[in-house]
A and B are shown apart, each in its own frame.
Chain A
Amino acid sequence: MAVGDVTEDRGYPLMSRLMPVLSKVLQGLLTLLAVSLLIFLAARSLRGDVANMILGPHALPDQVEQLRVQLGLNQPLWTQYINWLGGILHGDWGTSLASGRPVSESLVIGLRNSATLSAVALAVMLPTALVVGVVAAQYRDGLVDRIFLITSMIFNAVPEFVTGTILVAIFATTVVHWLPAVSFIPPGDSPISYPSALILPATTIIIPGVMYLSRLVRVAVIDVMTTEYIQTAVLKGLSPARILFLHALPNAIAPIIPAASLVAAFTIGGVVVVEYLFAYPGVGSALVDAVTNRDLPAIQAYVLVIASAYFFFNLIADALARK
């Protein structure tokens, strides 16, 4: 008894499609603003006075006071926040307290390395997840399928640092020495030039991603394979390959795409642990270093970048889900 028939959403196609996206972008920007405030306050609440820390335990109170003025730490919190935020909008991410160089320098290198790692991981993860999921669905309830389901459950339950440690033990230290246990990439070079340094960190990210996504693919394919239009295709005498690739997959992939974008967002955020484990020179390991050094401008910059990446991929997931 549906009243809206075939022509339901023909009314104002452009506006009705654009409005939700625009409002999402606006929401996202507000969220980022809130996140930046939180980051700022959290960084300020770290124990210990920055100026004290820089100058060490034997500094004279005068020197500390001088540095505080120099760093702007004597100004009210909100002024400091506005100055920081304004700087970022002008491309000035502040100066690293640890190295004394602009944060943006190490940020660019870290971003490039992390993005490369994530991109390589995703480029392998997404197609693999699709193939594994489809194969498991084809052998539904059979031996292959059951082995897959148990394996994926185990890998989803194991944290990344455990997977990574096991991989290191097998391929880099205890069993064979095929790959480096630590990903050394000189600051000026692209990680692409050091493929062997990429393999283990990427694999550590890929395994749980594949295990999670392929389960979704499996369920989506099974759902589609039981629909009436697939039965119709079978009763039309079409070949199994045509049924799978032309009739089933396009319908099965649609519900997976938003999940895949979310996994991409997690991958960006999740590289922190993996990078630290392999000492891979990305945003994640840089963040860990910055926290250790109480390097406030650096911490703020790295967290804001990771949060923005999250926001960006979530936005994509939302836009795709809406379609």
Chain B
Amino acid sequence: MTNSVDPAILTADAVTVERLDGAPIIADVSLTLRQGEVMGIVGESGSGKSTLALALMGHARRGVRIGGGAVNIDGTEMLSLTPKQLRSARRNLVAYVAQDPGAALNPTLRLDTLLTEGLEGSSAEKTARAKRILKKVGLPDDDAFLRRRPRQLSGGQQQRIAIAMAVIAEPKVIILDEPTTGLDVSTRAKVLDLIKQLCIADNLTAIYVSHDLAVIASVADHVTVMYGGQVVEQGEMQEVLATPRHPYTRALLDAVPSVNDRQALLPIRGRVPNVGEWPEGCIFSDRCDYAIAACSVRPPLRQAGTALVRCVRPELAHTLGAVSRHIDHRRAAEAVEPALTATHINAAYGDKQVLFDVNLTVEPGRCLAVVGESGSGKSTLSRCLIGLHENLTGELTLAGSPLPLSVAGRDQIARERLQYIFQNPNASLNPRRTIGQSLIAALDGSAAKREGRAIDVINEALDRVSIPADLTDRYPAELSGGQRQRVAIARALVSNPAVLLCDEVTSSLDVSVQASVIELLRSLLEDGLGMMFVTHDLAVVRNIADTVIVLNEGRIVEQGEMQAVLNAPQHPYTQSLLANTLQLPTGDDETETAALAVH
């Protein structure tokens, strides 16, 4: 749009992907990219962003087909090729990088095979090319490394290999589907750097799919916001960030927590419509606070400023108020008895020690955040506290009295007072039990059940997490992701706990859902619950924690009040974590934009 002389290198026109029964998964998606541009495609789960990414490669998953539209990459019509031509296009024209390199790299093949298969030329030429590309993506380029298999690499190295695999044939376009999502912050920052370098140095045209607006903002110059399989807003990155015109884009931005400021987060009510259950009119109308009668007819994408918006009244943009408000930090309570303490915790797996002399205190009504990357021992620590890890020494107290290290040695009261919430509610709720049955099971052996108050207690807990009581007959699969995590929290609440141990409870959730769960946890803190919140996300820490401990390789490297730690981190590890945390530039905050420019 700034440079209209350049011809488009990738155009997608009215692409539709549908289930075999004809229900659309993505509908009428169009986009245009010129040489060297990076288009971010952002959306929450169920938005169809990955389906779109695959459709651009001319691929549809099993049970799904590309129903219509056209994709043109550098003059080649991707959707009307013979299978043989399509294979050739995928070798030379367009390449794909998948989300999880651990799953996307064949474990039985060596790196040299993975990198060079599909290339033409002699094996010496291929090896030389593989070495050049390894150097380019910042990996060792010796023969021994080329003989390794994917399992022998770290997650970050694997993703570099996946990227090298994609760019080795020098394609015109590269499509990256959440390439940094499973990585630690510092690894993510490095991989993002690599992608940016490649885009600049090789003038590569890229599609970058992500659920994370901050990541998109840091790599892309154009953005397509998808919701329920449709494009709701499309335009230049800065423009869309500064003036989001679609209510969904606005809501998405408001749900993202900031690492610099504790804010009231605004969840989006309702849930993403399922495939085949789209509302008649505007796809977002049933969750939109601004819906009017005209929204019952599906609006076309229309020009608004420099962006395209699928909304009947894009002029609302300037009145979509609700910019996140700052909220205050809870003060330290004076001299209360700690709800939970752990002293001199040492834990090991076999001969390998993973926690070294960890001490912590959880106070009632306050949240202790345990921050660290994969392998820092933070999950082991929470397992130690709940009594599921066996190989440990140290001392625990709960409300002043000693707590046995193993859950088997704890009495009913201790078990009830200390509750655990898992990362993934899909896995922690029994799929064959209704919500009500899962909650009743949590009350087994409790006084409440003996006294016949079980139903009251359950209804109270559900009410506390804003789940309507009539959902007790439903199965977890019938609930949205956010509702499931709320139910998991309700299950912890039924036994009237003093301390909640939350293990990455928001990291498998979409941002809009994460916002609602954070708000819920905040309100539980107001009620006086003590909480330990394990996370790798500093923005979440800013928004929920009162005190922080930073774990690195099993040792506490920094601890203190949250504001002190995040505003002026002392330890280099904490500093690097903070520096590598990506921020959404809001446009009204100079420091945040500057923080972005560092990368």
Contacts and interface: CB of A to CB of B under 8 A. Distances in A.
Interface of A: 1-6, 11, 226-239, 242, 246-247, 250-251
Interface in B55-105: 57, 59, 62, 86-92, 95-96, 98, 100, 103-105
Interface residues of B, number: 41
A1 B375 contact: yes
25 contacts: A2-B374, A3-B352, A3-B377, A4-B352, A5-B154, A5-B375, A6-B154, A226-B62, A228-B100, A229-B103, A229-B105, A230-B106, A232-B96, A232-B104, A232-B165, A233-B106, A235-B57, A235-B96, A236-B90, A236-B91, A237-B86, A237-B88, A237-B89, A246-B117, A251-B108
A231 B57 CA distance: 11
- With a 10 A CB-CB cut-off, give which of A232, A234, A247 has the most chain B CB atoms: A232
A225 to B, nearest CB: 9
A252 B250 CA distance: 47
A237 B377 contact: no
Nearest to B84: A239
B152 interface: yes
Given A3-B354, A246-B109, A238 B118 contact: yes
B151 interface: yes
A46 B267 CA distance: 79
Interface of B: 54, 57, 59, 62, 86-92, 95-96, 98, 100, 103-109, 113, 117-118, 151-154, 162, 165, 349, 351-352, 354, 374-375, 377-380
A231 B379 CA distance: 32
A234 B59 contact: yes
Contacts of B374: 1-2
A238 B87 contact: yes
Contacts of A236: 90-91, 95-96, 117-118, 165
Contact of B103 (A4, A6, A228): A228
A232 B105 contact: yes
Given A6-B153, A228-B103, A235 B59 contact: yes
A227 B117 CA distance: 19
B89 A228 contact: no
Contacts of B104: 228-229, 231-232
A6 B88 CA distance: 35
Nearest to A236: B118
Contact of B349 (A3, A239, A247, A250): A3
A1 B57 contact: no
Contacts of A233: 106
A239 B87 contact: yes
Contacts of A251: 106-108
A251 B103 CA distance: 13
B432 to A, nearest CB: 23
Contact of A6 (B62, B86, B87, B152): B152
- Going nearest first, the 6 A-B pairs with the smallest beta carbon separation are A237-B90, A237-B91, A1-B379, A237-B87, A228-B103, A229-B106
Nearest to B152: A6
A231 B106 CA distance: 10
A232 B104 CA distance: 6
B106 A238 contact: no
Contacts of A250: 108
A6 B151 contact: yes
Nearest to A246: B109
Given A5-B154, A237-B86, A247 B103 contact: no
Given A237-B92, A246-B109, A251-B108, 6 more contacts: A3-B377, A4-B349, A6-B154, A236-B90, A236-B95, A237-B87
A256 to B, nearest CB: 14
A233 B59 CA distance: 12
Nearest to A3: B354
Nearest to B376: A1
- With a 10 A CB-CB cut-off, give which of B86, B89, B98, B113 has the most chain A CB atoms: B98
Contacts of B118: 236-238
A242 B59 contact: no
B98 A228 contact: yes
Contacts of B107: 229, 251
A197 to B, nearest CB: 42
B283 to A, nearest CB: 28
A242 B87 CA distance: 12
Nearest to A227: B103
Contacts of B349: 3-4
A234 B62 CA distance: 13
Contacts of A229: 103-107
B108 A232 contact: no
Given A3-B380, A251-B106, A235 B90 contact: yes
B56 to A, nearest CB: 11
A142 B247 CA distance: 46
Contacts of A6: 151-154
B117 A242 contact: yes
A246 B103 CA distance: 17
Contacts of A226: 62
- With a 10 A CB-CB cut-off, give which of B59, B106, B162, B354 has the most chain A CB atoms: B106
A228 to B, nearest CB: 4
Contacts of B151: 6
A1 B378 contact: yes
A232 B88 CA distance: 15
Nearest to A224: B106
Contacts of B351: 11
A101 B316 CA distance: 104
A236 B113 CA distance: 13
Contacts of B59: 231, 234-235
Contacts of B108: 250-251
A232 B380 contact: no
B347 to A, nearest CB: 10
A247 B165 contact: no
Contacts of B100: 228
Contacts of B57: 235
Contacts of A238: 87, 117-118
A47 B117 CA distance: 70
A11 B96 CA distance: 37
Contacts of B162: 232
Contacts of A227: 103
B130 to A, nearest CB: 14
A233 B107 CA distance: 12
Nearest to A6: B152
- With a 10 A CB-CB cut-off, give which of B87, B89, B105, B153 has the most chain A CB atoms: B87
Nearest to B117: A238
